[in-house]
Amino acid sequence: MEIFNARDVVKQFSNHLALDNVSITVPEGSIFGLLGPNGAGKTTLIRIINQITAPDSGTLLFKGKKLHPNDIYEIGYLPEERGLYRKMKVGEQALYLAQLKGLSKKNALKKLKYWFEKFEIQPWWDKKVEELSKGMQQKVQFIITILHEPKLLIFDEPFSGFDPINVKILKEEVLALQKKGATIIFSTHDMGSVEELCNHITLINRAKIILEGPIDEIRKTYATHEYEVVFDGEVNLLTATLSSRYKIIEHTKHNGQSIVRIKLMNDFSTNDLMKSLLSAGTLKSFNELVPKMNEIFINVVGEANSEDNKE
């Protein structure tokens, strides 16, 4: 079941094409990573989902139905460039923005009280926003975004500007929201948190989607079949290499240990590899070198760009 669908969305600005026949499918209950280099069209797509701008052409479906203006009550949006009224008091402001999202005053107060207590920020209620630090302001804004319990949450770089402790708290909060049934579209340049949180990703480059799918499948596709093996003491792996069933990419010695990066050849399984390694020395650890999202990102975008440039 998908919560949001975009089909063949085109958005042209006066001097450039922001989205070129973009289609995305956001599975319900997933954390959906929306990735891409700067200026790729992510923000435009997010604004279209939020009905801030309309596409020139294309279909948008929310819960299987054509996107309706009232659907914004079920969507929560934390923009990358965020801010609050500086001169307005925190509590009043949160209440105001919650009411704009369709909550009644009473209901909004109740919910705000819960979240302010949970984040232990009740003393900020009567402070003006300008008196808060940037991180504090972002925390308030995070609460405002999720307060109306939207079905679909859109976070654009939600963790920037936070210290590691707060990042951890917020990540837990994001996962908790997912557990409660919310779907999260998560746009970021931080590939570490993509690996940590996302189930599904879409990579936009130059107004087009160049990669999409469940994150584990993508990582499998881009797997290099490389392993890192650590031995105690020195080892000689020359004979096994000669069999051309695997290839040693790198062999370093560090603190009396040998660290070897090995690439498996096609018909060789990890079990076979293990067997041949056991004879070489005392095995300390054996790990598959799963491709980092970072590398996939750089490779895929780089490839796409060089193809574009050829044309």
Partner 1 sequence: MSKISIIIKREYLARVRKRSFIIMTLIAPLLLAAMFVVPVWIMTQEDTDLKKIAVIEEGTQIFNGIIPNTQYLKFEYLQNTSLDEIKNNFTDLGYYGILFISPKITYIPNAVQLISTKQPPLETTMHITNALEKEIERLKLETYNIKDLDQILKEIDTQIKLQTIKITEDGTEKETSTGIAMGIAYISGLLIYMLTFIFGAQVMRGVIEEKTSRIVEVIISSVKPFQLMMGKIIGIALVGLTQFFCWVIITFAILSVAQSILVPDMESIPQSPVPENIMSSSPVANTQPAEIQELSEVQQIFNNLGSQNWAVIIGSFIFFFLGGYLLYASLFAAIGSAVDNETDTQQFMMPITIPLLLALFVAMGAFQNPESSVAFWFSLIPLTSPVVMMARIPFGVPGWQIGISILLLILTFLGTTWMAAKIYRTGILLYGKKPTYKEMWKWLRYKI
Report the interface residues with partner 1, using CB under 8 A: 14, 47, 50-54, 56, 69, 72, 75, 77-79, 81-88, 96-97, 99-102, 141, 144
* Closest CB to partner 1 among residues 82, 200: 82
* Closest CB to partner 1 among residues 69, 256: 69
138 touches 104 (CB < 8 A): no
Q: Report in angstroms how near the CB of residue 266 gets to partner 1 at its nearest.
A: 50
* Closest CB to partner 1 among residues 156, 226: 156
CA proximity to 293, closest of 196, 174, 149: 196
Q: Report CA-CA distances (Å) from 48 to 18, 260, 280.
A: 11, 49, 59
Q: Report in angstroms how near the CB of residue 66 gets to partner 1 at its nearest.
A: 16
Q: Report in angstroms how near the CB of residue 180 gets to partner 1 at its nearest.
A: 21
* Closest CB to partner 1 among residues 140, 203: 140
7 touches 21 (CB < 8 A): no
* Closest CB to partner 1 among residues 145, 188: 145
Q: Report in angstroms how near the CB of residue 46 gets to partner 1 at its nearest.
A: 9
Q: Report in angstroms how near the CB of residue 26 gets to partner 1 at its nearest.
A: 17
The strand pairing partners of 185, in sequence order, are 32, 154
* Closest CB to partner 1 among residues 136, 280: 136
Q: Report in angstroms how near the CB of residue 82 gets to partner 1 at its nearest.
A: 6
* Amino acid, single-letter form, for residue 110: K
Q: Report in angstroms how near the CB of residue 178 gets to partner 1 at its nearest.
A: 21
* Closest CB to partner 1 among residues 67, 264: 67
Q: State the Cα–Cα distance between residues 226 and 183, nearest whole angstrom.
A: 34
171 touches 192 (CB < 8 A): no
Give rounded-to-5 percent helix, strand, coil for the chain: 40, 30, 30
Q: State the Cα–Cα distance between residues 222 and 289, nearest whole angstrom.
A: 11
Torsion on CA atoms 202, 208, 210, 211, rounded to nearest 10? 10
DSSP tag of 291: P
- How many helices (H) and strands (E) in the chain? 10, 14
Q: How do beta strands 65-66 and 75-78 pair?
A: unpaired
**Hey, is 209 helix, strand or coil?**
strand
* Closest CB to partner 1 among residues 40, 103: 103
Beta-carbon contacts of 68 under 8 Å, excluding residues fewer than 6 positions away, are: 62
Q: Report in angstroms how near the CB of residue 253 gets to partner 1 at its nearest.
A: 53
